[in-house]
């Protein structure tokens, strides 16, 4: 066994609301006969913490301890076939992966400005795996860390979120995130960052990015406030 991050549940705090069981894409959490959340098996937990934000009483935490590795195939076999998981979150599928279509009405569509829209991107690369924490363009900046899907969902991403900021993008669900916390912490320690904004989608798995940034801030010792912006699937700003 190796050390890795897994969910830990405080039974005294748990009020049995069950929100964490639907937020967990892998079906790793269930309610026991006493209406308390329990971890079915540690190999079903990916350690990303998508369940943390939905818990109203703070009964969930991510801890690092010796544990068997996360096994996504085992979770699929126990909690339903992929085609069922896609359409029915109640069978253990991820709400963020559920197929849906957004109908746009005339009222939703805004008139585009005449001519090309100017990009507000001011540095390259932007993917968290590729950026250097000591790159000179991070010195004395306002920083935006955004989940990959946000720029595609929010039509005014460049004007409303990116303008005047340096950008880092990541996907907490699909990326190999093992070094993300340490890399963000190093970026914060090596540079003067005036403000830090995290943009995520409203789907549960995306909240893992916000949790990683919060942990990185603590690790860096900078005590920098983190502003969270949540983008709805319909392209509206929720928070």
- The yes/no answer on whether domain 136-231 falls in CATH 3.40.1000 is no
Q: Give this prediction's pTM.
A: 0.66
DSSP secondary structure string for all residues of 34-85: TS-EEES-GGG--S--TTGGG-TT--EEEEEEEEPPP-HHHHHHHH--HHHH
Answer with the residue of higher pLDDT: 80 or 16. 16
Q: Which residue is associated with the tokens 């350690």?
A: 47
Rounded to whole angstroms, the Cα distance separating 193 from 140 reads 6
Place 81 in a pLDDT band, splitting at 50, 70 and 90.
Answer: very low
What's the confidence (pLDDT) of residue 59? 92
- Residue boundaries of the structural domains of the chain: 2-97, 136-231
Q: Is the pLDDT score of 30 beyond 60?
A: yes
Place 99 in a pLDDT band, splitting at 50, 70 and 90.
Answer: low
What confidence tens digit (pLDDT) does each residue in 177-207 have?
889 999 999 999 999 999 999 999 988 778 7
**Strands in the chain per DSSP E:** 2-9, 29-31, 37-39, 60-67, 141-147, 166-170, 193-201, 226-231
Say if CB 60 and CB 7 are below 8 A apart: yes
Q: Which residues pair with 194 in a beta bridge?
A: none
Place 103 in a pLDDT band, splitting at 50, 70 and 90.
Answer: confident
Neighbouring residues of 201: CB distance < 8 A, sequence distance ≥ 6: 96, 147, 149, 150, 153, 230, 231, 233
What's the confidence (pLDDT) of residue 69? 82
What's the confidence (pLDDT) of residue 142? 98
Rounded to whole angstroms, the Cα distance separating 192 from 109 reads 39
Tell me the pairing of strands 193-201 and 166-170: unpaired
What's the confidence (pLDDT) of residue 13? 92
> What's the mean pLDDT when you consider all of the chain?
83
| Least confident interval from 35-39, 140-144, 187-191, 217-221 | 35-39
What's the confidence (pLDDT) of residue 133? 95
42-59 mean pLDDT: 84
What's the confidence (pLDDT) of residue 74? 64
| Least confident interval from 6-20, 99-113, 133-147 | 99-113
Rounded to whole angstroms, the Cα distance separating 76 from 224 reads 39
| Other CB atoms within 10 Å distance of the CB of residue 220 | 19
Place 29 in a pLDDT band, splitting at 50, 70 and 90.
Answer: confident
Neighbouring residues of 125: CB distance < 8 A, sequence distance ≥ 6: 131
What confidence tens digit (pLDDT) does each residue in 118-150 have?
899 999 999 999 999 999 999 999 999 999 999
- The yes/no answer on whether domain 2-97 falls in CATH 3.30.70.20 is yes
pLDDT > 90: percent of the chain: 43
What's the confidence (pLDDT) of residue 65? 87
């Amino acid at each position: 066994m190796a050390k890795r991050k897994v969910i830990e549940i405080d039974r005294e705090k748990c009020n049995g609301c069950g929100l964490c069981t639907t937020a967990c894409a892998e079906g790793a959490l269930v309610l026991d006969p006493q209406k308390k959340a329990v971890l079915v098996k540690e190999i079903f937990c990916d350690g990303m913490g998508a369940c943390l934000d939905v818990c109203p009483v703070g009964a969930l935490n991510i801890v690092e301890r010796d544990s068997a590795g996360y096994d996504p195939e085992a979770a699929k076999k126990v909690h339903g076939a992929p085609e069922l998981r896609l359409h029915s979150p109640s069978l253990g599928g991820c709400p963020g992966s559920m197929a849906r279509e957004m109908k746009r009405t005339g009222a939703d569509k805004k008139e585009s400005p005449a001519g090309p829209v100017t990009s507000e991107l001011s540095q390259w690369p932007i993917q968290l795996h590729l950026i250097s924490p000591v790159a000179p363009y991070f010195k004395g900046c306002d920083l935006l860390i955004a989940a990959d899907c946000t720029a595609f969902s929010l039509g005014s991403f460049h004007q409303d979120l990116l303008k005047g900021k340096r950008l880092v993008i990541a996907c907490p669900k699909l990326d190999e995130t093992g070094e993300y916390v340490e890399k963000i912490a190093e970026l914060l320690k090596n540079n003067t960052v005036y403000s830090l904004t995290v943009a995520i989608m409203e789907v549960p798995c995306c909240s893992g990015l916000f949790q990683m940034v919060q942990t990185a801030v603590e690790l860096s010792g900078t005590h920098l406030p983190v502003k969270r912006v949540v983008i709805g699937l319909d392209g509206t700003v929720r928070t």
